[in-house]
Structure formats: C-alpha cells, structure tokens
C-alpha cells in the first residue's frame, strides 16, 4: 500500500473519522470502546495495514512482552527441546523470546546487558549461573529471574530443577538391587549444581552400604564420556556399573565400552541422566533417569507470569522428581 511512511494510529484515526485515542483503545487490552468505533477503526486499520508500534508501546507502559532466554549448552540434545517448548508456551501467552547464547558457566555482565537494555519482562537462565552482583541487577530492575536446571548457592533467587539428590540416591539403590558390587561415577562439569547433587545422592547411598566406587571428572560432552570411560577401564578392571551424569556422556561411555569389547549389560551396566531422545534409539537403549521437563517448564513459566503480573521478588528452590527409565544397558 503506502511505500515509505509507516502507518500510525493517527492515519487510522483520520480515515476512520475518530480520535487517535480511540484507535489506541481498540488495540490496548482492557481499554473500553464502543463496538461501533471498534469496527470503524478495524476497517480503516485493515485498509492501511496498520500495526501498533511495540516500541512506542513499551516506552510508555514501561513493560515489554519479551522474555530473555539464556542458554549455555545448546550442543547437549537435552536443550533444544527445552528451547522449543519454552518458545511455544510463551507464544501462547503472547510473549516473545530473546535468545542469548553464552559459553560461560557463570554469566558475565556483558552476556546479559542486552536483557537489561531491552527491559525484558522476565529472564530464564538455563544451564548456567551468574554472579550475585549481576543477578542483583535484575532484582534492582524488578525483573523476575529463574534459574532452570541449576541451583544457586544463594537463597535470594528462584530456581527450578530436577530433584537431583533424590535421583542420585534412587539410581544407587536401583543398581544395588541389580546386585552390582562396585561402581564408577562419571561427573559433569564440577562447577554445576546438577553434577554435584547427583553425585552427592549417589555416593551417600554407596557409602552407607560400604560399596566401593571411583569418581572420574568429565564435562557433559559425548567425547568426554567416551574418553573418560576408556580411562576408567585402562587398568584392566571393569567396574560392575557406570553412573554417568548425563545422557550424552553416557552414550559416549557405551560406545567406548562396546569398542573395547565390554558386553553391556552382562559385564558392566550403564545408566545415564536426562532421557534425551537418543537414549531410546535402538543402538543404545540406554537406561536413564528421566528429567521431568514438562513440569520444570510449567513451574518456571508460572513463576514468571505471577511475577510479571505483580512483582514480589520472592525466592525459592523448586525440585521436581524425575523417574527411572529402564532399558537395555542395565
């Protein structure tokens, strides 16, 4: 239609024969307009191809409909589904997602500056943490913040994760019931709460039953799991079971063991964590601990929506129970 000039509420008002305020009221949720005015405005708007300017809107309301989603581990197949589910849920709620990628386990001021500049309505940090003074910036600006799949040491924020401690314990008990007599734990990055808590629950049970175990530190990647498994059996001794802190490492572990001719589950057992799609592939059929992703997402979004509606800044640690998924590696 028009070539250069962007269509504004004023243009629509003129064509519809009403005031600019009335046009605004038609598009602003909650405002009151007569049906007659509404129809006139919508007709004119359609004819001109009008579209309310989000920037003008945000400038005056001091609110946005943007959620900042910060992700670290998009390489881990656990996260793409998290991303798409969040995006779909927010779209249904009328929010858009500003995607921020970071390589840092602890977010830097620079990583999240953009979120403050855009005055986002809320923020989700997945698979990463943040120094307190950075996190406090969000507090000062009354921007609600959720740590997803991470727990902060600090009690001042809100986090949603799987109950990793419980999971670690249950995995240990499950393996013990299978008659396993010694175990290896392959950890993820040790600065993550997920790896530490899974480990803590696991070791706690083993120690109470006086079962010998060895820990190998790795890094939540396939290659890490592969190399660490090789290292673990280099001495010639193959432990009765491997608990691997996430699935993608567990797949690496399985491949390394297969490559060394170790029979699974006869000679050793492997159990992962997450229940990514690949765990169910015929080549792997990996026993694992399923993260309750749907529920975790639900709690995250409902906290954010509440806080966006009426900011309280309340903190909390939500831990959702997962479940063991038994397949063919145990």
Binding site residues, its own copies, CB under 8 A: 1, 6, 49, 51-56, 58-59, 62, 64, 66, 69, 74-75, 77, 79-81, 83-84, 87-88, 91, 96-101, 113-114, 116-119, 140-141, 222, 226, 251-252, 255-256, 258-259, 277, 281-284
Residue 199 or 288 having the CB closest to its own copies: 288
How many residues touch DNA (CB under 7 A)? 29
Distances 145 to 39, 109, 155 between C-alpha atoms, Å: 40, 15, 13
- Give least dist CB 36 to its own copies, A: 26
Q: Tally Cβ neighbours within 10 Å of residue 113.
A: 13
The region of 17-25, 92-100, 257-265, 294-302 touching DNA under the rule CB under 7 A is 17-25
Q: Tell me the two tokens of residue 113.
A: 């500056």
Contacts 24+ apart (CB under 8 A), 112-119: 112/68, 112/70, 112/137, 112/138, 114/68, 115/68, 115/70, 115/143, 116/141, 116/143, 118/64, 118/66, 118/68, 119/58, 119/62, 119/63, 119/64, 119/143
Residue 325 partner contact from its own copies, DNA, none using kind-dependent CB cut-offs of 5 to 8 Å: none
20 belongs to the binding site for DNA (CB under 7 A): yes
Q: Tally Cβ neighbours within 10 Å of residue 302.
A: 12
Query: Closest by alpha carbon to 142, among 326, 314, 320?
Result: 314
Residue 9 partner contact from DNA, its own copies, none using kind-dependent CB cut-offs of 5 to 8 Å: DNA
59 belongs to the binding site for DNA (CB under 7 A): yes
Give residues in contact with DNA (CB under 7 A): 6, 8-10, 18-22, 24-25, 27-28, 31-34, 36-37, 50-53, 56-57, 59-62
């Amino acid at each position: 239609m028009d070539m250069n000039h962007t269509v504004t509420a004023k243009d629509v008002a003129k064509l519809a024969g009403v005031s600019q305020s009335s046009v605004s009221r038609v598009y602003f949720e909650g405002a009151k307009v007569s049906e007659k005015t509404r129809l006139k405005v919508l007709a004119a708007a359609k004819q001109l191809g009008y579209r309310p300017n989000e920037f003008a809107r945000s400038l005056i309301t001091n609110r946005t409909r943007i959620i900042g989603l910060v992700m670290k581990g998009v390489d881990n197949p656990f996260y793409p589904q998290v991303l798409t589910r969040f995006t779909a849920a927010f779209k249904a709620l009328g929010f858009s997602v500003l995607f921020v990628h970071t390589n840092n386990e602890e977010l830097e001021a620079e990583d999240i500056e953009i979120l403050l500049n855009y005055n986002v309505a809320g923020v989700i940090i997945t698979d990463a943490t943040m120094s307190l003074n950075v996190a406090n910036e969000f507090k000062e600006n009354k921007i609600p913040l959720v740590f997803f799949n991470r727990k902060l040491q600090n009690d001042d924020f809100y986090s949603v994760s799987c109950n990793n401690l419980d999971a670690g314990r249950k995995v240990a008990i499950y393996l013990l019931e299978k008659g396993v007599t010694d175990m290896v734990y392959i950890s993820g990055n040790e600065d993550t709460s997920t790896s530490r808590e899974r480990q803590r629950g696991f070791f706690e049970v083993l120690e109470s039953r006086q079962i010998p175990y060895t820990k190998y530190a790795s890094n939540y990647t396939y290659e890490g799991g592969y190399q660490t498994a090789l290292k673990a059996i280099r001495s010639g001794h193959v432990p009765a079971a491997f608990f691997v802190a996430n699935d993608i490492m567990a797949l690496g572990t399985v491949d390394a063991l297969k490559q060394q001719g170790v029979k699974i589950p006869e000679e050793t057992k492997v159990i992962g964590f997450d229940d990514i799609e690949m765990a169910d592939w015929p080549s792997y059929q990996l026993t694992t601990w399923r993260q309750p992703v749907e529920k975790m997402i639900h709690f995250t979004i409902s906290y954010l929506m509440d806080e966006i509606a009426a900011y309280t800044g309340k903190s909390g640690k939500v831990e959702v129970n997962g479940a063991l998924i038994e397949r063919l590696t145990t």
